[in-house]
Amino acid sequence: MSARSSWLEYYWELEGEETHFGVELSLYKTAPDPEAPLLVYFCFQTIDEHVLNPSDIRRIEDIAAKIARKTDVVPAGFIEAGSMRQYYFYTSDKEQYDIMKEIAAKEKKLICRVGGKREENWATYFNLLYPDDMKYQTVKNCEQVKKLRSIGDNTDAARRINLHMGFVTEQERLVFEETARRAGFAIGSPEFQPESDFPNGVVVYRISTLKRHDIDSVTVRAIRLAKKIEGRLLFWDCNIVPKSVTKRL
C-alpha cells in the first residue's frame, strides 16, 4: 500500500502511545461514499505480544494484499502501535466482511480479529486516519529535516527554530504574541505580507533539536496556540549546524 503516491504515513500519539498511521489520501474529495457505508477493521497482533518486527510487517502486508485481491473493499488506512496493526476498510455489503473473517480464521502465526459497523459518515476516516493541520505538519517536518540532513546538518544539535506565523488581523497577531510569550516562545519581529490570506505575521522562536519528537512538539504547540485565534503556522526555518562544527565543540 505504501508504494502508492496517494498513500501517506505519519506518526502521532494516540492514547499516550506513539502510533504509526497510514491513510489513503485520494478518498478525501469524494468521501463519504454512499455506496460503501460499512466500516470493517482487520486487526493483527503478535501471539506473544512482542513488538512488530520486519518479518511480522511483511506477513501482515501480504495478508492485506490478499484481502485486496479477494474482496471488493476500499482500503482507508491503518494504525500501528507495539504488537498491533489494524487496517480499516469501507465496503458495500456484509459478504466482504465474511470473506475477511475466513482469511483471518486461516492465519496461524498472528492473532487476527475482524469487526465492523455501519458508518455512513466515514467518521473513522475523517477523525482518526486523515491528518489535520498539526498531523500533516509532522510530515512536512520530516521532509524538511531529511533535506537538512542531506546537506550535512547535525540534526541532533539544538538551535533556534524560527516559526513564521500568520493571522488575518493585526489584533489576532497581538493576542497570539502574548499567548505565545506565556507559553515559552520568544517573540520576534512582525511580518506583513499584503498578498497573503494571513497578512499579519510574526516570527516566534524556540530552542530545539531537529529530532522528530522535539521538532514535532514545537510545531504542534505553535499551531495549537495559533488555531485558537484562527491563525496558522506558515513555515519554519533555522540555521544549519554542520557536523564538523559540533565535533570541534
pLDDT, mean of residues 90-117: 95
Are 7-129 and 136-248 equal in CATH topology?
Answer: yes
For cell 511580518, the residue is 191
Instruction: Supply the pLDDT for residue 125.
Output: 97
pLDDT, mean of residues 76-100: 95
pLDDT, mean of residues 9-26: 93
pLDDT, mean of residues 157-186: 97
Q: Tell me yes or no: is domain 136-248 CATH 3.40.50.300.
A: no
Backbone dihedral angles phi then psi of residue 229, each to the nearest 5 degrees: -125, 35
Q: Are 60 and 42 in contact (CB under 8 A)?
A: no
* Residue 31 clears pLDDT 60, i.e. is over it: yes
Tens-digit pLDDT profile for residues 38-86: 999 999 999 999 999 999 999 999 999 999 999 999 999 999 999 999 9
Instruction: Supply the pLDDT for residue 245.
Output: 58
Beta bridge partners of 41: 88, 115
Banded pLDDT at 4 (limits 50, 70, 90): low
pTM of the complete model beyond 0.75? yes
Report the mean per-residue pLDDT for the chain. 93
Kindly list the domain boundaries of the chain, sorted by start residue: 7-129, 136-248
Instruction: Supply the pLDDT for residue 2.
Output: 46
Instruction: Supply the pLDDT for residue 5.
Output: 66
CA quadruple 126, 128, 229, 183: dihedral, nearest 10: -170
Residue 25, helix vs strand vs coil = helix
Banded pLDDT at 243 (limits 50, 70, 90): confident
* Residue 205 clears pLDDT 90, i.e. is over it: yes
pLDDT, mean of residues 134-156: 95
Which CATH architecture describes the domain 7-129? 2-Layer Sandwich (3.30)
